[in-house]
Amino acid sequence: MKKRYGLIVFDWDGTVMDSTALIAGSIQAACRDLDLAVPSDTEARYVIGMGLGEALRHAVPSAHESMYEVLTQRYRHHFLSQDAAIPLFAEVRETIMELHAEGYRLAVATGKSRNGLDRALDSSGLREYFHATRTADQTFSKPHPAMLLELMDELGVEACRVLMVGDTTHDLQMAINAGVDAVGVAHGAHSSEMLLELAPRALLNDFIQLRAWFRENA
């Protein structure tokens, strides 16, 4: 049977790697360091998936423009002290290995920096399974469609054969903007209710369900 999709693109934080709490906590800790207004958990989680600069400006809009550089430094201090220990979600490794073995092209589109994604790919041992990647410091941040458009162009796959997998509305909106299908996973930064508003092809609780969905629908 011909595969429906030729390219499956994964978000990273909150989708593949269980990093939501650490990212949100690092934003909040950085604000405390600088005596800035501390965003709520919901506010800090909402910006996950954006590029870091855009995320901090959205989460801490009251900061003076001159503060964002040092706020970024404090965020990285807190995040990098713990990022090597962030686990993958259950069944992520098995799902990605299975898709790779079955001949799908796999890619990553993430709000992480290039250095950040490279560290995560190496620490997780997943680098060899991805054919291409895009990060927020290489091109436009989500939900702009550039990451997906560039990946499609690089790998030679048309939009009708591309699937985006993500845990935030930024991921799903990027897919809509690029004209590709999307599946949401509900174990990350944004609520199921928020994800369903963007009408993904499916909303799955975790990679156990996602792996089964791939077998039936991809």
Q: Of 159, 158, 36, 168, whose CA–CA distance to 110 is shortest? A: 168
Single out the catalytic residue among 11, 83, 171, 181.
11
Q: Tell me, which fold does domain 7-18+87-217 have in CATH?
A: Rossmann fold (3.40.50)
Known catalytic residue at 33? no
Give the model confidence (pLDDT) of 163-195 as tens digits.
Answer: 999 999 999 999 999 999 999 999 999 999 999
pLDDT at res. 30 = 96
- Identity of the residue numbered 14: G
Percent of the chain with pLDDT over 90: 96
**Sequence ranges of the domains in the chain:** 7-18+87-217, 20-84
Single out the catalytic residue among 13, 83, 167, 181.
13
pLDDT at res. 83 = 84
**And the tokens for 118?**
């490279």
Q: What's the rounded Cα separation, in Å, for the pair 128 and 145? A: 25
Compute the Cα dihedral for 150, 154, 158, 159 and give only its sign: negative
Q: Tell me, which fold does domain 20-84 have in CATH?
A: DNA polymerase; domain 1 (1.10.150)
Known catalytic residue at 18? no
Give the model confidence (pLDDT) of 46-101 as tens digits.
Answer: 999 999 999 999 999 999 999 999 999 999 999 999 888 899 999 999 999 999 99
Peptide bond into 143 cis (omega under 30): yes
pLDDT at res. 195 = 98
**Residue 203 CB coordination number (10 Å):** 19
How much is the average pLDDT of 148-162?
Answer: 98
Q: 31 to each of 19, 26, 63, 121, 184, how far by Cα in Å?
A: 19, 9, 9, 28, 30
Ordered DSSP codes for 53-84 = HHHHHHH-TTS-GGGHHHHHHHHHHHHHTTGG
pLDDT at res. 85 = 86
